Structure 1
Amino acid sequence: MAPQNIPETMLAAQIVEFHKPYKLNTIPVPSSLAPHDLLIRTAVASLCHTDFMALEGIMNSPLPTTGSHEGSGTVAAVGSAVKDFAPGDRIMCNLLYSLCGQCVDCKGPENYSQYCTQHGGHLGITRDGNFAEYVRVDARTAVKLPDNLSFETAAPLACAGCTAYRGILQAKAELKPGEWIGIVGSGGGLGHLAVQFAKALGVKTVGIEARDVGIELTKKAGVDAVVDARIGNEKVVEEVKKITGSEGVGATVVLSDAKGAAALSCAITRMHGTVIQIAQPTEFSIPFQELVFRDIRVKGSLICSVQEARDMLELVGKHKISANTNAFTGLKELPKLFELAESGKMKGKGIIIVDLEQIKKEKESGLEMV
């Protein structure tokens, strides 16, 4: 899309008051770009658990703020210092804006850079996000889409995909040959992606789920074995040991914020194994016996770095990984998406198709899209 075709105003779903639904407003399209900025014509915006947290004021979002930190779209204009992107490029909008490049994390291992505390904000949380017809992102954190990756697949990967992928990478690094990964919350928006990432990386997976729709989605994702958490913790541990050959899994990724999920994750993990905590409950507890007597190591994990995001998209395209999406067309349909998400019946991720024309153009390209 040529820069001269950019309108002056756009629709955007914004937080204007905490504890109230997003409000659809007409606001100006960002008109001034910093040197490293991209102006993106949004194709698809995805709903994340964090969007609910932002609505409740937990994320300290300034008011008003346009929601959604998961999005994909087409470059409409570029800042003066941008060299790697041009109008017309298809991208995934990374939620991070402007890494400082100077702190210990930015200068440390590349996969620590996403922990930069001097960054310029997060889309949909402290900066305007993807629930809008246009969004301003940082070219240094944006990632081009492989030719065979659709906007609808890419949008949920901006956070859910990046988070699940890094969690699996962290867990895989702790495994001995032949060991299994456990995924607690395997049938959720992140969980079913984590199962697919683990399979693509050649790791055997045990999914733990407590919902019928979650178990169904876990199986659909290709898990090697699934255990229903509703049978009780002791029986879950017994089942996991039977599946893995008595010791339990080598590492576990926790994607459920249910009470007791962290403790159960430790219990199904072999002695001296590692638990990767990704879910964000207000509080979680682990019996000291797990940490002291069984030497279980618990590590937190956030989104992945920019290079890891590039690697993730390549893996997605190669292995045809995709989020199970529940699509609604148009920002005006956002209340229906929230209603579905709050019902507990949603399978996978909820998305809003912001620009149907981009989706149609993609389908008319003749490429076989993931």
Structure 2
Amino acid sequence: MVQQGVFGTALPQIASHEGSGTVVAVGGAEAEKRGFKVGDRVMVGIPLHPCGSCHDCLGPETQTQYCTNLEGHVGVMTDGCFAEYVKADCRSTTPLPNEVSFLSAAPLACAGRTVWRAVLLAGLKKGEWLCIVGSGGGLGHLGLQFAKSLGLQIIGVDARDEGLALTKENGADVVVDARKGKEEAVKEVQSVTNGMGADATITLSDHPTAAGLACAVTKMHGTMVQIAQPDEVTIPFQEIIFRDIRIRGSLICSQEESSGMLKQIAEHGVTAKTVPFHGLDKVFELVDMVHGGKIQGKAVIIVDEQQIEDEKKLGAKF
């Protein structure tokens, strides 16, 4: 979307809005107040310099990431993480537990934060059914693990062989191939949910029919959380009017929610599946792989090999 001009980004600009690394400098009293110091391992915050005075900044903590009066978002409107050094805002940057590795934390900065909040917004209790449409991608495989760690039963829906394989690998209780069509998908979901449908659904696929499918497999009066960002989200009116499907949108995580996500990972062993590329000169290879649609999980650039070696001494295992 940056390349296509969706955000009005002034180019050239350093890419990538997801990153993790070690603090090399701390600026300002706010960072010191929050306890950041040189040497800390962190997951980069995406919002840069929110205003601190608007309705969202002053409202519930879980709305702070919605501030529109900010300098920009790292890697979207300001220089990003395909670099040796990145400037991030302490108010949205999160310290890493020793258990969580840099390789996992980098994609967690956006993909992890985004799907974690989607699972929270689904509002389900242990044992209830969550369906994830687009379960076999970078966000999907994390969402499956998050949901599993919270004790939910999971239905994964995907339309690619690679995605279906990753869905199974990450613990979905039921796997549905969307290529069979909406009617068959609804039938398969209802067959394991006593004819009701999933208690809530998260849409991660930007396919034109994905949102409609997600609503169709959700029980009446259930919630569909829309995360994918196609140009238009198309949902048949019957799902909203006749079946009372409630639709929510969501944007990354607040600081408090981010800390909760990392705590959950450290305790339950959620792991981001990554395809590492070594060195910034591999950026174009990475982009080609991602755009090719064959990748499982998230592609990651390792900028500083020494940091990866150093964290092994801390016991980083996820």
Counterpart check, 1:75 vs 2:16 = no
**Equivalent runs, 1:1-370 vs 2, <5 Å:** 53-81=1-29, 82-83=31-32, 84-171=35-122, 173=123, 175=124, 178-363=127-312, 365=313, 367-370=315-318
Question: In the TM superposition, what is the alpha-carbon distance from 1:333 to its structure 2 partner?
Answer: 0.4
Question: Residues 295 and 121 from structure 1, CA distance in 2 versus in 1: closer, same or farther, beyond 3 angstroms?
Answer: same
How many residues are treated as equivalent by the alignment? 315
Contact 2:98 / 2:314 at 8 angstroms: preserved in 1? no
- Opposite residue 76 of structure 1, the aligned amino acid is V
Contact conserved, 1:176 with 1:250, CA < 8 A, in 2?
no
Please tell me whether the aligned partners of residues 187 and 218 of structure 1 are also in contact (alpha carbons under 8 angstroms): yes
Unaligned runs of 5+ in 1: 1-52
CA deviation after TM superposition for structure 1 residue 155, in Å? 0.3
Return the TM-score normalized by structure 1.
Answer: 0.83
Deviation at 1:58?
1.6
Counterparts of 1:339 and 1:97, CA distance in 2: 28
Identity of aligned residues (%): 52
Q: Is the 8 A contact 1:276 1:301 kept in 2?
A: yes
RMSD of aligned C-alpha atoms? 1.1
Partners of 1:323 and 1:110 lie apart in 2 by 26
* TM, length-normalised to structure 2: 0.97
Higher strand share goes to which structure? Answer: 1
Misfit runs of 4+, over 2 Å: 175-179
Q: What do the CA deviations read for 1:110-142 (whole angstroms, capped 9, x no partner)?
A: 111111111221000111111110011111211
Tell me the distance in 2 between the aligned counterparts of 1:267 and 1:105. 33
Q: CA deviation at 1:87?
A: 0.8
Gaps of 5+ in 2: none
Cα shift at 1:99? 2.1
Residues 15 and 76 of structure 2 are in contact (CA less than 8 Å); yes or no, is this contact kept in structure 1? yes
C-alpha distance in 1 between matches for 2:265 and 2:86: 24
Q: Which has the larger radius of gyration?
A: 1
Letter in 2 for 1:301: S
The structural deviation recorded for 1:366 is 5.4
